[in-house]
Structure 1
Amino acid sequence: MSLFAGLRVIDCASFIAGPAAATILGDFGAEVIKIEPPGAGDPYRALAAMPGYPRSAENYTWLLDGRNKRSLALDLKSAAGRAILLRLVESADVFITNMPLGVRGRLGIAHADLSRGNPRLIYASLTAYGEVGDEAGKTGFDSTAYWARSGLMDQVRASADQPPARSVPGMGDHPTAVALYAAIVTALLRRERTGRGGHVETSLLANGLWSNGCLAQAALCGAEFFPRPPRERAPNACAHHYRTRDGRWFILSMLNEDRQFPDLVQALDRPDLLTDPRFASTKARHDNAAALIAVFDEVFACRDLADWRARLDAHGLTFGVVATPSDIAHDHQARAIRALVPLADSDFLTVSSPFEIAGEAKTPPHRAPALGADSEAILREAGYEMHEIAAWREAGVIG
């Protein structure tokens, strides 16, 4: 039996971070009911068709975060739709939402509203900027609240004279989903011990600051920051990125230069660098980093990435290939650790949630549902009669 078998989750959220937390629960066997407005459904369904996104015949973003869920198309602006939701919540264990705080109040689906009918409910709330303070009601996405506001967008620019670096879709949402999942599971543990449900929350801003924690803490300690220099003048040649003959990039990460620099020069077939006074010690290498970068640029441009991977691996050196999205499907290590798993009834792989529990098998990922595909079945299970369902469908309450 799956770890969360019997756990009922209502995903009443949109886009990525909130729904992705429900996806993780579903990966471990929870029943997830996705609540969506009739008509277009969760706006996330249309994200992959936005300008600038990769083109595919598959709705790849929805395929990822909508897997293993059942879709109920329900108009929560109607009294009947809200009544249906309240009945479903009575038997739910977890309710996830990222609706604006004011909207929750107007719809009667705030924590205080739902917990009255189900005091064991775990109410999981996601916001952009938190639930208190002047910006509590402010809307935001991971690009704004996680990436830009946290300082990450500024700090990863190529150099101080370059524009801030744009994020990629879901880059802050998926880590935030893990935090929301952690809050939910922690609350479930407390419920097991006390019988009480409760309200848990996280925000994109809090997770952005946590992700940028090292530099955020430096700033909080009054540290002096230095503008990032151009690549050719980086302060450490042994923790830097280089381009190979076939146009690929990789990054070295040598944090123990005293021990590892001799291994590196062997891999490079450049023993002369050991006796060059500019590079003979860690301090000298840092003082002459620009000169060493120029040497490394010339050397690494003489061989293809595959050759350098073999050489650096043979000498036990830490480095990372700068992968492109097209590389991911061919990443054998990612398959070995089940970070990439087969999508049932298809020829595709999909990205699994990022942790495993020994002895617990995840639910095989199945395709995300069409909008409202399970509306009738869910309502029948909730005790509604077919004539009621038909009337609601006619009135547009369900889709």
Structure 2
Amino acid sequence: MTRLFEGLRVIDCSSFIAAPGAAAVLSDFGADVIKIEPPGAGDAGRNLSRLPGNPKTDQTYGWLLDNRNKRGMVLDLALPEGQAVLHRLAGTADVFITNYPLAVRKKLNLGYETLSKLNERLVYGSFTGYGERGAEASKPGFDMTAYWARSGLMDGCRPDASLPPARALVGMGDHPSAISLFGAVMLGLYQRERTGRGSQVGSSLIANGFWANGFNVQAALCDATFYPRPPREKLFNALTAYYKCRDDKWLILTILNEERQWPVLAKCLGREALVSDPRFLKQADRFKHAGELIATLDAAFAERDRSEWRQILTDAGLVFEIVASPQDCAVDQQAIDAGVLVPFENDTLMTITSPLHVDGQPKVAPRKAPAIGQHTEEVLREAGYGADEIAQLRAGKVLG
């Protein structure tokens, strides 16, 4: 069948996670994505999973996730000949994606001003750490800094106010930001459909971080009074707290319809007497005595393993969820059934698909991410380069 983006040519001239992730989403729906990497080690994102502290395996799992389906090409953009090749490719492309620093784009002649003169229909997807205007526009940024720390998320997500700020996971801000950049590219393509002309579109880590923390940032904009987050044992509401089970695994309750569901929970826990306890009779009472109720529920949840509680609470129709580990996620049957986890093409290894779908448009079966320069000559031949020209580019180290 014809894929939604079949025939759409995308040049991914970016590194690490957020911008390559946006290109991967386009590839899921059939776009031909050409990944441009520098000579040598290639995109620094290739080795991200090998850094100390990250989970260890022979698979470069970060690279697999964010660069599936792409064709890999090595090009030395520091050389005028390399820039000439890129310009030739950009002249017939539909989308160009980059997160190179603004000064580097100018130095390498791959800014929007340059490429749009070569192709007026080009949609130029720009991703930055701190936006493209202001005193800090040229400041380097990663999701840990520009998204997580600068947005207030790092401060707000600490377990309680007395503890150090919470440290984010790798890619925690990058992957949501990839969807924002994808959305911006789609707006550019939609505008092109209406006007016939391309444009520069974009997103940034700081914008996505502020959006993710929008509830609290908007509260601050409204001059709200903030309350320090208390320790778990002293949370304001016992029925939206999280609890450790007998096997040291956790689950979290989100019981908002308390009038109906509080008696159901008490019955599930074998603590029916709590319903008539004056301390917990009404919601206001439960809020007032939340610490005491948390201690009581702690003792109850400690009597069974999480798998038992999961079945009991599910059967009762209560809103809760397990606090899953990555290992739990990897075997999550609902994620498999819902198409969140899918196998690589002709492989048993699973990956995470992009969080979007279009009815009647099945995604491309994900193909493994390319080796460094795997498709360089193939792409050049498609662009009209002959064997002698390719040999000359190789001799000049333009192709690594």
Deviation at 1:164, TM superposition (A): 0.7
* Alignment match, 1:106: 107
Secondary structure at the aligned position of 1:11 is classed as strand
- Aligned partner letter, 2:172: M
- Aligned partner letter, 2:24: T
Unaligned runs of 5+ in 2: none
- Aligned partner letter, 1:224: T
* Alignment match, 1:193: 194
Deviation at 1:258, TM superposition (A): 1.8
Deviations 1:144-202 (A, max 9, x none): 00001000011110111111111111000000000000011111111111111101010
- Aligned partner letter, 2:174: D
* Alignment match, 1:211: 212
Deviations 1:325-363 (A, max 9, x none): 111221000001100000123221000001111100100
Equivalent positions of 1:270-289 (< 5 A) are: 270-289=271-290
Taking the aligned partners of 1:378 and 1:324, their CA distance within structure 2 comes to 41
* Alignment match, 1:268: 269
* Alignment match, 1:331: 332
Taking the aligned partners of 2:348 and 2:91, their CA distance within structure 1 comes to 39
Give the 4+ runs in structure 1 shifted more than 6 A: none
The reply on whether 1:391 has 2:386 as its aligned counterpart is: no
- Aligned partner letter, 2:159: A
* Alignment match, 1:317: 318
* Alignment match, 1:305: 306
Deviation at 1:282, TM superposition (A): 0.3
Equivalent positions of 1:74-153 (< 5 A) are: 74-153=75-154
Taking the aligned partners of 1:33 and 1:213, their CA distance within structure 2 comes to 35
Query: TM-score, normalised on structure 1?
Result: 0.99
Taking the aligned partners of 1:352 and 1:196, their CA distance within structure 2 comes to 31
Secondary structure at the aligned position of 1:125 is classed as strand
Taking the aligned partners of 1:321 and 1:140, their CA distance within structure 2 comes to 33
* Alignment match, 1:175: 176
Q: How many residues align?
A: 399
- Aligned partner letter, 1:118: N
Deviation at 1:268, TM superposition (A): 1.1
* Alignment match, 1:155: 156
Secondary structure at the aligned position of 1:238 is classed as helix
Taking the aligned partners of 1:291 and 1:18, their CA distance within structure 2 comes to 48
Taking the aligned partners of 1:126 and 1:314, their CA distance within structure 2 comes to 46
Taking the aligned partners of 1:259 and 1:123, their CA distance within structure 2 comes to 53
* Alignment match, 2:380: 379
* Alignment match, 1:351: 352
Taking the aligned partners of 1:394 and 1:297, their CA distance within structure 2 comes to 69
Taking the aligned partners of 1:169 and 1:31, their CA distance within structure 2 comes to 27
- Aligned partner letter, 1:8: R
- Aligned partner letter, 1:385: G
Taking the aligned partners of 1:306 and 1:98, their CA distance within structure 2 comes to 44
* Alignment match, 1:364: 365
* Alignment match, 1:31: 32
Query: TM-score, normalised on structure 2?
Result: 0.99
Deviation at 1:259, TM superposition (A): 2.1
Taking the aligned partners of 2:146 and 2:257, their CA distance within structure 1 comes to 36
Taking the aligned partners of 1:387 and 1:86, their CA distance within structure 2 comes to 20
Taking the aligned partners of 1:72 and 1:29, their CA distance within structure 2 comes to 19
Secondary structure at the aligned position of 2:239 is classed as coil
Unaligned runs of 5+ in 1: none
Taking the aligned partners of 2:109 and 2:26, their CA distance within structure 1 comes to 25
Secondary structure at the aligned position of 1:365 is classed as coil
* Alignment match, 2:3: 2
Secondary structure at the aligned position of 2:184 is classed as helix
Question: Over aligned residues, Cα RMSD in angstroms?
Answer: 0.7
Deviations 1:61-101 (A, max 9, x none): 11111110001100000000000000000110000000000
The reply on whether 1:73 has 2:74 as its aligned counterpart is: yes
Taking the aligned partners of 1:387 and 1:66, their CA distance within structure 2 comes to 30
Taking the aligned partners of 2:338 and 2:224, their CA distance within structure 1 comes to 39
Secondary structure at the aligned position of 1:254 is classed as coil
Deviation at 1:60, TM superposition (A): 0.7
- Aligned partner letter, 1:212: N
Taking the aligned partners of 2:12 and 2:152, their CA distance within structure 1 comes to 30
Deviations 1:204-248 (A, max 9, x none): 000001011111111111111111111111111000000001111
Equivalent positions of 1:194-273 (< 5 A) are: 194-273=195-274
